Amino acid sequence: MVPSHIQQLISNLHFYLVSAFSVFCLCPVSAQSDTAPNIILIMADDLGYAGIGCYGNQTISTPHLDKLAASGLLFTDFHSNGAVCTPTRAALLTGRYQQRAGLEGVIYAKGPTRSTGLDPSEITIAQLLKSSGYATGIFGKWHLGYEKKFNPTYYGFDEFYGYVSGNIDFHTHYDGAGIYDWWHNKDTIRERGYVTDLITKYSVEFIQDHRDRPFFLYIPHEAPHVPFQGRDDPGYRYPNIQFSYHGPVKDTVRAYREMIEVMDEGIGQIVATLKDLNLEENTIIIFISDNGAESFGHNGHLNGAKGSLLEGGHRVPAIVSWKGKISPGISDATTMSFDWLPTILSLSGTSIPADRQLDGINLRDHLINRSPVMERDLFWRYRKQSAVRRNSYKLLINDGDTLLFNLKNDPSERHNLSGVQPAITTALM
C-alpha cells in the first residue's frame, strides 16, 4: 500500500508530469552539447519537508520549483546530514560526515566557535571540479568559517558574493553579532539590496559569463531562515544596538511565505536564463534544504523540527532535474546530502582522489536508470542526540531515552518499538 503522503505527492505532480514528459521527448540541441554538464546546486535554509507546493504545501506558491520537480526526480526520503546549518554544509561540500571536519555543530556569530571553520585539509567539490576545468561560483551563505582564512575562495571557488555567518539582515546585511557581513571574494563590500535578489542577480550573471565553458554554481540561499523579512520589510540590524534574533516583523506568516516565494521566483529566473542561452539540456539542477524547518515552518506529517533528530529535523525536500537525461518521476530511495559530491563527480567525469575516503555514494545509476540505491547504515549526531537508520528502522537516542521506529509503517515516528522489538534495538545500538 502506498503511504498517503506519497499519494499526495503523486497527485500534486500529476499535471506537471504529463506535460514535462512530452517535453522530455523533444529536447533542443544544447549550446554545450559536447562538453561536461553544468552543475547548479541550490540549497534552501531551514526549508521543511512540506515547505513547497510539490511537497504538498497549499499556502505558499512555488510554481518554478514545482515545474522543476515535475521535469525531474523528486525524492521522498532524502535527508540532510545535520539537523542544523553548518554540519550539513560541511558534509555536502566534502562528501564526508561532518565529524571528519570537526564541524558537528553550528558556528555561531558570537562566542568561541566564531574562530573555527572548515579544516583546510578537507577537499571540496569546488576544488575537484575546478581541477577538471570547471568555473566555480558560490552566491549566498557560506557558514563554514568567519575568518578570512576560511573564505570560500580558498576552497576552490573562483567567485563569491554572499555572507559567511549563519544569517544576516536581508536588507542591512549585518549578522547576529552586529558585524557587517556581505562579501565579494575576500573583502566585504557595501551593497544595497534584498539578499535573495542579490543571490539571484549574481547567479544569473555567473551563468551568462560562463556560457561557453562548464560551470559549477552553488547557490546556498538564506531563505527562509530568520530574520523574517520580505522585500518591502524594513532592515533592523545595525552595529552597536540591541536587536532581536527573529526581527521586528509582526506578520511572520506573511513574511515567511514571501521569503520562499521570492526564492522560487529567483530560481525561475535562473531556469529562464538557461533556456535563453540554450543551456537547459546540458545543465543539471539540484535543489535541497540544509535541515528541517523550525517549529513555525512546514514539516508536514513529520515529527520534530530543526535541531531534532526526529525526521522533521533532517528529512527535507530534494529535486534533481536534467532535461533529456533524467526522466520525470518520484524516488523513495534513502539518500543524504553527502551523496551529491560523488554523484556530481561521476556525472561530470571528475576523478575522486585515491587517498580520499568518501562517506557518500554515487547516485548516478539511480538518477539515470532508476537502479536501486545500495543499502547502508546512515548516522546522525547532534548535542545529546544520536540516530542510526538501517533499512526502514531508525534508532534514536535522545538524552538517554531509547526510541525505535519503523519508518515504513510510521513515518511520523509516533510509536516507539524499542520495548517490543528488543533484538532490532540491540542490533542498532
| Active site annotation includes 25 | no
Q: Which residue has the cell 555536502?
A: 92
Contact (CB, 8 A) for 328 and 308: no
**DSSP element (H, E) containing 390:** strand 385-390
Q: How far apart are CA 94 and CA 300, in angstroms?
A: 30
Alpha helix stretches (DSSP H) within 95-250? 125-131, 195-209
What's the rounded Cα separation, in Å, for the pair 423 and 404?
11
Burial of 301 (C-beta count, 10 Å sphere; 0-12/13-18/19+): middle
CA torsion 423-98-96-66 (nearest 10°) is 90
- The catalytically annotated residue of 54, 64, 79, 85 is 85
* 141: nearest Cα among 82, 208, 89, 192: 89
Name every residue whose Cβ is closer than 8 Å to that of residue 218 and which is 6 or more positions away in sequence: 41, 43, 126, 136, 137, 138, 139, 140, 157
Question: What's the gap between Cα 426 and its chain centre?
Answer: 33
SS (H, E, C) 130-175: HHCCCEEEEEEECCCECCHHHCHHHHCCCEEEEECCCCECCCCCEE
Q: Rounded to whole angstroms, how far apart are CA atoms 20 and 319? A: 14
**Is there a contact between 55 and 66 (Cβ–Cβ < 8 Å)?**
no
Instruction: Give the integer Cα–Cα distance in Å for 382 and 388.
Output: 12
54 belongs to the catalytic site: no
Q: Which amino acid is at 403?
A: L
Query: Chain centroid to CA 229: how far?
Result: 21
**219 C-beta neighbours (distance < 10 Å), count:** 27
**Catalytic position from the list 54, 64, 79, 143:** 143
Which residues participate in catalysis according to the annotation? 85, 143
